Amino acid sequence: MIELRTPAEIEQFRPAGRFVAEVLRATAAAADVGVNLLDLDHLAHQMIKERGAESCYIDYHPSFGASPFGKVICTSVNDAVLHGLPHDYALRDGDLLSLDFAVSVDGWVCDSAVSVVVGTPREEDLRLIETTTRCLDAAIEVARAGNKVGDIGAAIASVAKPAGYSINTQFGGHGVGRTMHGDPHIPNDGRPGRGYPLRPGLVIAIEPWLLATTDRIYTDADGWTLKSADGSRGAHMEHTVAITDGDPIVLTARD
Q: Is 87 part of any known ligand binding site?
A: no
Would the annotation count 123 as a binding residue? no
- 42 annotated to a ligand binding site: no
**In angstroms, rounded to a whole number, what is the distance separating the alpha carbons of residues 179 and 195?**
22
- Of residues 85, 77, 95, 97, the one with CA closest to residue 24: 97
Residue 174 labelled as part of a binding site = yes
Report the candidate in 156, 243, 228, 150 with the shortest Cα–Cα distance to residue 190.
150
* Residue 237: closest CA among 131, 108, 88: 131
**Residue 189 marked ligand-binding:** no
φ, ψ (nearest 5 deg) of residue 231? 85, 0
Please indicate if the annotation marks 185 as binding a ligand. Answer: no
**Is residue 61 annotated as involved in ligand binding?**
no
Pairing of strands 239-242, 234-236: unpaired
DSSP state of 148: B
**Residues marked as binding?**
83, 100, 111, 174, 181, 207, 238
**Residues marked as binding for a divalent metal cation?**
100, 111, 174, 207, 238
**Residues marked as binding for substrate?**
83, 181
